[in-house]
Amino acid sequence: MEKYYKKQSPTNAPPPTIENDKNDEMPSSSKKGRVEVNLTDLPANPGLRNPISSYHPTDRDQVRRAFLQKGPCQPQDHKFPYTGCGQDKRRFNPIWFKDYDSWIENHEGGPNSVHNQAYEKCQNLLNQKQHIETVIVKQSSQARTEYRIRLKATLASVRFLLRQGLPFRGHDEYEDSNNMGNFLELLQVLANQNEAIKRVVLENAPENLKLTSPKVQKDIVNATTAETAQAIIYELGDAPFSLLVDESRDISIKE
């Protein structure tokens, strides 16, 4: 090593250099502070707008939405120059802006240009009625309303038959039958008396949601039985009660 480096005495050694930490000289926070954006004061003229990237990331979507809602930039007070049209001179009339809110003096390209396609997509985006989410929510709300009407009509029929102690089923429950049974016939009477019920029950109901099958009838009867038993138990409370059991034999004397 002595061949390449020469020894130095401690007295001739240069003083150690201490580099200043550049991070200490920098401000405590290098992040750009968020400035609140007034969406109502955003310029409509695209030439005067700041780039979207200049806004805070949290505000960019709101700024884009505000620009879309402003629509095309229509300079109402601009004096458009005259152009020659044969022997006459004509110019764009700003009054047309009042009747056509999507007009501007000159469009980029023809009807199928990228500019017009982008404008059409923008209009579709702003039209909330066309959004698939709006359509689904509307259909779901309508389906829930129709289901409630159908269920109430079914419950009314079941409640009446249980109170009167009448049978539900019929011997021939087809739609072309003269007597489909007490349950279906009563439901048909309710439909004939109420147009709102008629629109959602029997033949107007979905095939998988008619609420008229024997299984559905039994489920509603069982639910009614459970509710009746609960009401009796709640009414009795802790009071004593007795049961009177009567018996009778049939002709075969087996039961």
Between 86 and 146, the higher pLDDT residue: 146
Nearest to 61 by CA among 85, 37, 96: 37
CA distances from 119 to 68, 109, 122, 250, 254 (A): 10, 12, 5, 86, 87
Mean pLDDT of all residues in the chain? 76
**How high is the pLDDT of residue 211?**
86
Structural contact between residues 101 and 90, judged by C-beta atoms closer than 8 angstroms: no
Where is pLDDT greater, at 129 or 234? 234
- Of residues 155 and 89, more confidently modeled: 155
Residue 220: pLDDT over 80: yes
Q: Looking at residues 50-59, what average pLDDT do you find?
A: 82
So what's the pLDDT on residue 27?
46
Look up residue 48 and give its amino acid.
Answer: L
- Dmax (CA) for the chain in angstroms is 134
Give 70-127 pLDDT, tens digit per residue. Answer: 777 766 666 776 777 767 777 766 666 676 666 665 666 677 777 778 777 777 777 7
- Other beta carbons within 10 angstroms of residue 84's beta carbon come to 8
- Higher-confidence residue of 95 and 156: namely 156
* DSSP track, 49-73: PPPGGGS-TTTHHHHHHHHHHH-S-
Tokens standing for 82?
């005259």
Q: Which residue has better confidence, 163 or 70?
A: 163
**Model confidence band, residue 42 (pLDDT cutoffs 50, 70, 90):** confident
Extract the tokens encoding 127. Answer: 């039209």
DSSP symbol at 2: T
Among residues of the chain, what percentage have pLDDT more than 90? 10
Q: Give the pLDDT score at 247.
A: 74
Lowest mean per-residue pLDDT among 52-56, 102-106, 143-147, 197-201: 102-106
What digits encode the pLDDT tens for the residues 16-37?
555 555 455 444 444 556 667 7
DSSP state, 99? H
